[in-house]
A = this chain, B = another copy of it.
Amino acid sequence: MSTSEIDASVQAELNRLRESIDNIDAAVVHMLAERFKATQQVGRLKADHQLPPADPARETRQITRLRQLAQSANLDPAFAEKLLTFIIAEVIRHHERIAEEAGNGTATTGQV
């Protein structure tokens, strides 16, 4: 193969991989949109029924489970844990907004 043929084949492979990455990113965005719909329902349910907002035991179970899933999928468990923590921080931000809108001024954390 000439250099330009090699270049073209490498570029084609790079494009193929990037298309997969883009498809995966779209899937993740849509999964997370669905996740926030669920956590917002949890937030409202807890607010309506005066349930304690935080549930540390639930969070511990989630982290343990995600680390195990990551390990079996050959993903760094520490990364999976950091990612969950990152998402939970956003959930808490949402719940604070729900609480503010409900006018009770109490930050409802932990509906994760």
Contacts and interface: CB of A to CB of B under 8 A. Distances in A.
Given A18-B58, A21-B38, 13 more contacts: A6-B49, A14-B46, A14-B51, A17-B39, A25-B35, A25-B65, A25-B66, A28-B35, A29-B75, A29-B80, A31-B31, A37-B74, A76-B90
Question: How many copies of this chain?
Answer: 2
A70 interface: yes
Interface residues on A, range: 35 or more
A38 B22 CA distance: 10
Overall SS of chain A's interface: helix
Interface of A: 6, 10, 13-14, 17-18, 20-22, 24-39, 41-42, 45-46, 49, 51, 58, 62, 65-66, 69-70, 73-76, 79-80, 82-84, 86-87, 90, 112
